[in-house]
Amino acid sequence: TADGQRTLGLLYSVTGKEEGVVCLMHPREFTGTPYLVPDVLDAGYACWVQAPRSIGNDLRLEHEVALLDVAAGMAHLRGLGFRRVVLLGNSGGAALYAFYAQQALRAPAARLRHTPGGRAVDLAGADMPPPDGLVFVSPHPGQGQLLMAGIDPSVTDERDAFSVDAALDPFDARNGFAMPPAESRYSPEFVARYRAAQRARVERIDQWAREVIAGRLQDRKQLKMQGESADAQLRRRGAHTPVLQVWRTDADLRCWDTSLDPSDRAVGSLWGRDPFVSNWGAVGFARLVTAESWLSTWSGISSRASFAHCGADLELPTLMLEYTGDQAAFPSDMEAIHDGIASTRKQRIKVRGNHHGMALAEGEEPGQVIAGRHVQQWLRAAD
């Protein structure tokens, strides 16, 4: 990469003579053979599957830095002589690729120079070949926007996982909750108060993150000024990078009340039907983050890796495939994503399936298979 790091990529090819290549990548995850690889190959394209520099760990993920990983893969593919390069973003990979396309299409001097946390990123000096087309499969608005909709605003103390404002508790029967598989029903008044409180909690965590960064920078400034005369305590503070623990991040009301933003989805979230497990368990979105990764990736206020931030700059041919039973992105999200993409050469197709393209009913053709056919048709038509 332009900053001297390494990132893994696998190139699949049938003939070794393909002129086009489709890229698949997620900012946090890596699977060597995503389910759409065979469809890409059957369409006559090669397929590049890339990993982020830190697989399976978003503790320090800053999307501006991740763009350098994408850029390294893109430069490699252009160097191999591919005439046409299409970015295919699935789930969180969609906002990552939208962000990359936005920055790659800009003149180098107009690209971002810092992460939201203040880290310098030399996008201007990086080789960032622009793509020729975009495919988004089960996209969500961006990880920050995803968390904004899912964070539990009833938390009153970020350092106490059990602190709760009962009037905002989404899992209190008095507010409309029913334990799955039963359906919850939240009143319009509760929903309005809840969403305002979600933003307020994200604002508080943003402030917490910025205070952590400011404190660390002050310690490092003092360390630099004192040099060899600095004592051990100052050296410890200057080296310390605090990790923020963010509890209760799986509380999107739409997951438990399917009358809100109705679709073909079942009750529950990506993490399952039991919100107590997903909110208080060890695994969950943004559970452990640095202040920098919170601001760049998980803050719905500060993160730039979102369709709301990037869509107006995306004027490339675009295919958008949405699953009608998605439990991470809902119809209103899909509408906003599609409407916000500036391209006049865009196509939106709805496919029955859950977020991962699994069938919604026994014996039904999986959404993955249907989506694959649409990808093939679009790629062939684009040649």
Q: Which pLDDT score is estimated for 353? A: 97
Q: Which pLDDT score is estimated for 327? A: 96
Q: Which pLDDT score is estimated for 237? A: 84
Q: Are 316 and 378 in contact (CB under 8 A)?
A: no
List pLDDT tens digits, range 284-338: 899 999 999 999 999 999 999 999 999 999 999 999 999 999 999 999 999 999 9
Q: Which pLDDT score is estimated for 227? A: 83
Lowest mean pLDDT segment, chosen from 54-68, 184-198, 262-276: 54-68
Report whether pLDDT(383) > 80: no
List pLDDT tens digits, range 123-178: 999 999 999 999 999 999 999 999 999 999 999 999 999 999 999 999 999 999 99
E strands, the chain, in order? 9-12, 20-25, 46-50, 84-90, 133-137, 243-245, 288-290, 318-323, 346-351
Predicted TM-score of the model (pTM): 0.95
Report how far residue 252's alpha carbon sits from residue 338's, in angstroms, rounded to the nearest whole number: 21
DSSP states of 296-326 = III-TTT---SHHHHGGG--S-EEEEEETT-
How many other β-carbons are positioned within 10 Å of the β-carbon of residue 164? Answer: 17
Report how far residue 64's alpha carbon sits from residue 71's, in angstroms, rounded to the nearest whole number: 11
